[in-house]
Amino acid sequence: MSIGTRFPKSDGVAKADGSGLYADDIALPRMLHAKILRSPHAHARIRGIDLGAAEALPGVVATLVGAELPLKYGVIPWTQDETALAVEKVRHVGDAVACIAAIDERTADEALRLVKVVYEVLPAVLTPEDALEHPEIKVNERAKVGNITKHVHLQFGEVDEAVAGAAAVVRETYRYAGSTHVPIEPHCAVARIDADGNLTVWSSTQIPHYVHRELSRVLGLPQSKVRVIQPLLGGAFGGKSDPFALEFCVAKLAMKTGRPVKILYTREEVFYAHRGRHPMKMDVTLALDADGRIAAVDNKILIDGGAYASFGLVTAYYAGQLLTGPYRFGTYRFDSYRMYTNKPPCGPKRGHGSVQPRFAFEVALDEAAEKLGLDPVDARRRNFIGEFVETVNGQKITSNGFLKCLELVEKASGWKERHGKLGPGRGLGVAGSMYISGTAYPVYPNEMPQSGVLVKLDRSGRVAIYSGASDIGQGVNTLLCQIAAEELHCDPYDVTVVAADTDLTPVDLGAYSSRVTYMVGIAAREACQKLAEKLRAAGGATFAEACQRAEAAEGAPLAATGGYRTEKLGGDYRGGTIGASPAYSFTAHVAEVSVDEETGIWKVERIWAAHDCGKALNPTLVEGQIEGSVYMGAAEAQMEEMVYDEKGLLFGPSLLDYRIPTSLDTPDLDSYIVESNDPGGPYGAKEAGEGPLHPAIPAIANAIHDACGIRIRELPFYPQRVLKLLRERDARREERAAS
């Protein structure tokens, strides 16, 4: 039995000892290095590009400008609005303008400084409010109306009536700062053209299939002539789930020169490529009835999208659609605008679209519960939506271990004995959440399986699994070994995984929306079960012997395929499929914080996190996902923010100025796995990679309230913000004492 065991991560040693091969480790004979010239302006029309001096520099081999790659691309087919290099306009500081390939990086860098670009600077819009107010300043021509990427307005039930009749109503504005992913590996791509004109691109991507499609389209090559390979990846978190300028540039430059070409982004360029978490302003109304049940939730959401759409259409939906569990909502309305602004584009970051509204909602729920004198844990428990139910917006929840999660963290943290009783400067806070295990909606409409797996048996007893899925650190390649071992009764160490190579592996749509374990798991199980049948019939003393006998019986090599076929899910209304998932995961956190009331400096002391992943196929990997998620959420609460100056220049695009917590800034983490055994998931599994992030932020905010009686409604919870709120609290107390 291999499922449920702590089988070691298959790429763990190679990552630790340095022997693993990442995209930047690829070095080919005669390979060129390319660099991208970037815009110093937030918004400008390009009047001319003079490459003469750059081309004359010894060592420069080729140059590239936007006009050579004019076709627009984008991950969502309905909102393709970017080009590899600016064609007429630049839309943010750092937008790509031209690309130069040279014999080494330094020569390419020197050549960039010799390029003369004539810009006509245009007025820029830098906030979503400005973007609404100034439709005449068009950031991106794709927007049909003003600067709106997407507007979603959905209502379920009579919200206003429910608010009017409620016992406690909270109306507050919550603000979520933008943050970025910070994978430790910067984006890197290498392209090569072979003698027959076939193009191979190795890229640090989490969506090889979409990159394959877009490369083919933009370069004008048949898909059958393009091959995309994803090497070992050094983190992604959603930051590598769009096609990026560098992939098109290396490919086109390889085609122009006949030589291999590499681009490795600098850390600064990773910040400009961005696709991080959207800043959101959320005007929340939350109403509880006299029993503390959620009568209504109303959320007006203004989303700062940056210069391109990326996944923004989905973001505008997710911001509302994913909030309707683990609690039952009596009525619900949301109204979200995703706006174009002249800043690096936002996109999907771990917990795409729903981390921000979850923060707002879970703090508002605490505030409302306080009005009714309800214990925050009880307030959540009594609103539990249940198992095998439909949400107010028509999503089907299957298994649901949320109550168990809540109970675990309540006990582990000593909630009953300690909440509200820890004395000044120390407090506990709770929050819950729900997230999708993949989405029923493939990014481009088609009837083919979302995920396919091919399993081949060798007469040596070696098993080869061909899977299109991207292992981005979540460990899907390890799980494939375990699934093979489980079904075929082979040694998991005798399994080779060939992954994420569009020539060799069946299609998987990519590592996003927490879909991989669920969908690839189902596909792999199906393929392995087909082969297991034949092995059983063949018999044999050893696994290798069984393979030989089965192959003899078959009269052909043994192989089988499996697939995950998209189910029709979701509410029967426009947008009803977005956010509809075959299964939802659930999480509860309790956070403990300490606050220094003289300085506003606070610290997360500990977080207890319980996550319902259905079934832990590998508990070590699940715990890793819980811990990594909690870390990332706590980091956003503590310090992460993309800050721009008045001209749209990102402050400090480096890991010195954009701070992420060190190990010393990371709280003690206790992770608990809850197994609700989902009937649809592979072996009962649901997602674990994104859900566990959500409650960290509101749990911390609620803990700060328990510690010192302030409500912090804006991220990050900088000490200066905490200190300001503490002073306002003191002023209120003095006023009260005086009167």
Partner 1 sequence: MMTLPDLTVLRPGSVAEAVEALRANPGARVLAGGTDIVPNLKYGMYDTRHLVALRGLSSELRYVREHRSGELRLGAMCSIDELGRSELVKARIPALADACQQIAGPQLRRMGTLGGNLCLDTRCVYVNQSHFWRSALGYCLKKDGTVCHVVAGGKRCVAAASNDTAPVLLALDASVKTISPRGERTIALHEFYVADGLHNTVLAPDELLTEVRIPAAAARRRQAFAKLRMRAAIDFPALNLAVALELDGHSVKSVSLAVSALAARPALIKGLQDLHGHAADAIFAEELGRRAHKQCKPLTNIGIDPGWRRDVLPVLVRRTVLRAIG
- 651 scored as a contact of partner 1 (CB under 8 A): yes
Q: Which residues contact 232 (CB under 8 A, 6 or more apart)?
A: 11, 14, 15, 20, 21, 22
Please, which residues have CB within 8 angstroms of residue 17's CB and are 6 or more apart in sequence?
Answer: none
Walk across the sheet containing 294-304 and list its strands. 148-156, 331-339, 294-304, 280-288, 168-176
Does residue 654 bind partner 1 (CB under 8 A)? yes
Question: What are the two backbone dihedrals, phi and then psi, of residue 13, each rounded to the nearest 5 degrees?
Answer: -65, -45
Query: How much of the chain is helix, strand and coil, in % rounded to 5?
Result: 30, 25, 45
Interacting residue with partner 1 among 153, 720, 730, 734 (CB under 8 A): 720
Q: Which is nearer to partner 1, 265 or 441 (CB)?
A: 265
Q: Three-state SS for 236? A: coil
DSSP annotation of 462? -
Query: Considering the complex, what minimum distance in angstroms separates the CB of residue 655 from partner 1?
Result: 9
On the 0-12 / 13-18 / 19+ scale of CB atoms within 10 A, 630 is buried
If the CB atoms of residues 42 and 316 are measured against partner 1, the closer one turns out to be 42
Nearer to partner 1, 46 or 93 (CB): 93
| Contacts of partner 1 in 472-531 (CB under 8 A) | none
Query: Binding residue for partner 1 (CB under 8 A) from 4, 8, 20, 40?
Result: 40
Contacts of residue 445, defined as CB under 8 A and 6 or more positions apart, other chains included, come to none
For 24, 100, 111, 159, 423, the CA distances from 59, given in Å and listed in that order, are 21, 11, 9, 66, 68
Candidates 54, 93, 282, 580: give the one binding partner 1 (CB under 8 A): 93
Element (H, E) at 262: strand 261-264
For the four alpha carbons of 533, 539, 541 and 545, in that order, the dihedral sign comes to: negative
Among the residues of 293-392, which ranges form H helices? 312-321, 355-371, 376-381
Q: What x-and-dash track marks residues 96-135 binding partner 1 by CB under 8 A? A: ---------xx--x---x----------------------
Which residue, 167 or 601, has its beta carbon nearer to partner 1? Answer: 601
Q: List the one residue out of 410, 609, 439 whose CA is nearest residue 518.
A: 439
Residues paired with residue 650 on neighbouring β-strands, in sequence order = 644
Binder to partner 1 among 11, 172, 665, 714 (CB under 8 A)? 665
**Ranges within 2-31 binding partner 1 (CB under 8 A):** none
**Per CB under 8 A, which region of 263-271, 381-389, 391-399, 480-488 contacts partner 1?**
263-271
CB of 220 to partner 1, least distance (A): 31
Q: Give the integer Cα–Cα distance in Å for 59 and 398.
A: 61
Q: How far is the CB of 581 from partner 1 (least distance, A)?
A: 36
> In terms of Cα–Cα distance, which of 29, 83, 81, 111 is closest to 247?
83
Q: Report if residue 649 touches partner 1, rule: CB under 8 A.
A: yes
Site residues (CB under 8 A) for partner 1, limited to 581-610: 598-601
Rounded Cα distance, 251 and 227, in Å: 11
- 663 vs 739, which CB is nearer to partner 1? 663
CA 711 to chain CA centroid, Å, is 28
Q: Which stretch binds partner 1 (CB under 8 A): 6-14, 343-351, 383-391, 652-660?
A: 652-660
For residue 295, the SS3 value is: strand
Nearer to partner 1, 5 or 266 (CB): 266
Q: Which residue lies nearer to partner 1 by CB, 459 or 659?
A: 659
Query: Closer CB to partner 1, residue 504 or residue 649?
Result: 649
Nearer to partner 1, 16 or 448 (CB): 16
Which of residues 558 and 726 has its CB atom nearest to partner 1 in the complex?
Answer: 726
Residues of this chain, 172-211, that bind partner 1 according to CB under 8 A: 186
Among 55, 158, 268, 545, binds partner 1 (CB under 8 A): 268
The least CB distance from residue 716 to partner 1, in Å, is: 10
Q: Which residue's CB is nearer to partner 1, number 266 or number 496? A: 266
Query: What b/e readout covers 64-91, taking b as 16+ CB neighbours within 10 angstroms?
Result: bbbebbeebbbbbeebbbbbbbbbebbb
Q: What's the min distance (Å) between Cβ of 474 and partner 1? A: 26
**Of residues 622 and 712, the one with the C-beta less far from partner 1:** 712
State in angstroms the smallest separation of the CB of 114 from partner 1: 13
Residue type, 132: L
For partner 1, the closer CB: 93 or 152 = 93
Nearer to partner 1, 361 or 718 (CB): 718
Smallest distance from partner 1 to CB 551, Å? 49
Nearest to 386 by CA among 398, 370, 374: 398
CA angle, residues 329, 330, 334, in degrees to nearest 5: 65
HEC profile of 70-133: CCCECCCHHHCCECCCCCCEECCCCCEEEEEEECCHHHHHHHHCCCEEEEEECCCCCCHHHHHH
8 A C-beta contact, residue 436 and residue 514: yes
Beta-sheet pairing, 199-203 with 188-193? antiparallel
Between 93 and 527, whose beta carbon lies closer to partner 1?
A: 93
Q: How far apart are CA 47 and CA 316, in angstroms?
A: 34
Which residues 6+ apart lie within 8 Å of 367 measured at CB?
A: 170, 172, 286, 711
Is 273 a residue that touches partner 1 (CB under 8 A)? no
The strands making up 463-467's β-sheet, listed across from edge to edge, are 495-499, 463-467, 451-457, 558-564
Smallest separation (angstroms) from partner 1 to the CB of 174: 21
Q: Return the structure tokens found at 323.
A: 């909030």
List 662, 735, 736, 737, residue binding partner 1 (CB under 8 A): 662
CB closer to partner 1 out of 541 and 664: 664
Encode 490-508: b = buried (16+ Cβ within 10 Å), e = exposed. Answer: bebebbbbebbbbeebbbb
Minimum distance, C-beta of residue 326 to partner 1, in the bound complex (Å): 34
Among 257, 266, 529, 677, binds partner 1 (CB under 8 A): 266
**Count of residues near partner 1 by CB under 8 A:** 36
Q: How far apart are CA 348 and CA 354, in angstroms?
A: 10
**What is the three-class DSSP state of 633?**
helix
632 binds partner 1 (CB under 8 A): no
Taking contact as CB under 8 A, which single stretch among the options 231-239, 292-300, 621-629, 716-724 is the one that binds partner 1?
Answer: 716-724
Select from 27, 145, 656, 737 the one that contacts partner 1 (CB under 8 A). Answer: 656
Among the candidate windows 565-573, 626-634, 662-670, 686-694, which touches partner 1 by CB under 8 A?
662-670
Residue 277 token pair: 């978490």
Q: Which stretch binds partner 1 (CB under 8 A): 135-143, 378-386, 513-521, 653-661?
A: 653-661
* 148, 321 contact by CB (below 8 A): no
Among 46, 264, 511, 712, binds partner 1 (CB under 8 A): 264
Closest among 492, 496, 509, 494 to 466, alpha carbons compared: 496
Q: Contacting partner 1 (CB under 8 A), which of 195, 541, 664, 738?
A: 664
Which of 40, 461 has the CB closer to partner 1?
Answer: 40
Minimum Å gap between C-beta 90 and partner 1 is: 11
Nearer to partner 1, 57 or 559 (CB): 57
- Minimum Å distance from CB 57 to partner 1? 13
Binding site for partner 1 (CB under 8 A): 38, 40-41, 93, 105-106, 109, 113, 186, 264, 266, 268, 598-601, 639, 643, 645, 647, 649, 651-654, 656-657, 659, 661-662, 664-665, 718-720, 723
